[in-house]
């Protein structure tokens, strides 16, 4: 025979002790956002050599000495090596990689600011690219784009910079430090120009719904001008958010 009363009493003891431990660990404070705010999260997306990586590096080096704990997640393109870049699955996977980081860190408090080199809006743009290539049906493209831009995810981003650059200028920047001058499929004038058109078009559509998206054309900007512009925008935007909280 099972001693039901004794079992209930033991369970109550277990629960009481467990609650004392949880209070000591401050679990609700550690894993919720009611007391400590989640990190500020910023995405940079755009075609090759538009200034994303340079800006992220400089912002990282600028913010850390000011006292911020800053994280630059490894870009999905560096992490996802086993899927060929000739299929939409590649950019679906890199999008999911970034989305995982976005979701997980929105419930963590290790960092103050997270700088994403490509995230969910980048995945949206690539679905547009593959749709134009005929490798995604209109229905599949729409489903994937709606998934990556669900309010659950978009609302976790504080700012997203769509960074573009005239194709000729972007190619010059790329060849300046390239080992080989041989053109690749993703780094020809035609390819960069096509992607710039896609990113600009997506910005035009999405900005109407998400005002925290910014378009930055770096064609005529020096690196210093680019960093100054984005740095001031980040700090003033985040400052405004601290007043609202």
63-115 pLDDT, tens per residue? 998 899 999 999 999 999 999 999 999 999 999 999 999 999 998 889 999 99
Q: Specify whether 9 is located in the same domain as 117.
A: no
Q: Specify whether 220 is located in the same domain as 117.
A: yes
Q: Specify whether 22 is located in the same domain as 81.
A: no
Q: Does residue 217 have a pLDDT over 90? A: yes
Domains held by the chain: number: 2
Q: 183 pLDDT band (50/70/90 cuts)?
A: low
Q: Does residue 125 have a pLDDT over 80? A: yes
Q: 154 pLDDT band (50/70/90 cuts)?
A: very high
Q: What is the pLDDT of residue 160?
A: 98
185 or 155, higher pLDDT: 155
How far lies 11's CA from each of 24, 27, 65, 145, in Å?
20, 21, 51, 47
The CATH number covering residue 105 comes to 3.40.50.300
Q: Does residue 159 have a pLDDT over 70? A: yes
Q: Specify whether 11 is located in the same domain as 57.
A: no
Q: What is the pLDDT of residue 84?
A: 96
Mean pLDDT calculated for residue range 122-140:
98
Q: Does residue 180 have a pLDDT over 80? A: no
d(CA 60, CA 69): 9
Q: Specify whether 81 is located in the same domain as 4.
A: no
Q: Specify whether 121 is located in the same domain as 221.
A: yes
41-54 pLDDT, tens per residue? 999 999 988 999 99
On whether the CB atoms of residues 235 and 159 are closer than 8 A, the answer is no
Q: Which domain holds residue 5?
A: 1-31
Q: Specify whether 80 is located in the same domain as 10.
A: no
Which strands, in side-by-side order, build the sheet including 113-117? 70-71, 113-117, 40-45, 159-164, 213-217
Cα dihedral across residues 102, 121, 128, 117: positive or negative: negative
Q: What is the mean pLDDT of the chain?
A: 90
Q: Specify whether 11 is located in the same domain as 43.
A: no
DSSP 153-165: HHTT-SEEEEEE-
Mean pLDDT calculated for residue range 165-175:
86
Alpha helices in the chain (DSSP H): 4-25, 27-31, 52-63, 76-79, 88-105, 120-132, 138-148, 151-154, 167-177, 189-206, 223-244
Q: Specify whether 109 is located in the same domain as 78.
A: yes
Q: Specify whether 12 is located in the same domain as 55.
A: no
Q: What is the pLDDT of residue 179?
A: 44
d(CA 71, CA 17): 37
164 forms bridges with which residues in the sheet?
A: 217
On whether the CB atoms of residues 55 and 226 are closer than 8 A, the answer is yes
Q: Specify whether 179 is located in the same domain as 72.
A: yes
62 or 244, higher pLDDT: 62
DSSP 37: P
Q: Specify whether 238 is located in the same domain as 149.
A: yes
d(CA 77, CA 143): 22
> Which stretch of 77-81, 109-113, 169-173, 179-183 has the lowest confidence by average pLDDT?
179-183
């Amino acid at each position: 025979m099972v001693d039901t009363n004794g079992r209930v009493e033991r369970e109550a003891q277990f629960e009481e002790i467990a609650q004392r431990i949880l209070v000591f660990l401050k679990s609700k404070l550690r894993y919720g956002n009611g007391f400590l705010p989640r990190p500020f999260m910023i995405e940079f997306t755009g075609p090759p050599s538009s200034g994303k990586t340079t800006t992220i590096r400089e912002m990282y080096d600028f913010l850390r000495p000011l006292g911020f704990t800053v994280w630059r997640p490894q870009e999905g393109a560096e992490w996802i090596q086993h899927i060929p870049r000739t299929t939409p699955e590649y950019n679906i996977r890199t999008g999911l990689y970034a989305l995982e980081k976005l979701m997980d860190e929105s419930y963590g408090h290790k960092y103050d600011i997270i700088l994403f080199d490509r995230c969910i809006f980048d995945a949206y743009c690539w679905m547009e690219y593959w749709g134009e290539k005929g490798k995604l049906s209109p229905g599949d493209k729409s489903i994937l784009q709606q998934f990556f831009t669900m309010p659950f995810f978009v609302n976790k981003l504080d700012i997203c910079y769509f960074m573009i650059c005239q194709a000729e200028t972007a190619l010059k920047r790329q060849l300046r430090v390239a080992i080989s001058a041989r053109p690749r499929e993703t780094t020809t004038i035609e390819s960069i120009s096509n992607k710039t058109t896609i990113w600009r078009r997506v910005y035009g559509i999405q900005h109407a719904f998400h005002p925290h998206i910014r378009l930055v054309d770096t064609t005529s900007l020096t690196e210093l001008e680019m960093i100054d512009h984005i740095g001031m925008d980040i700090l003033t935007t985040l400052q405004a958010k601290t007043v609202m909280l």
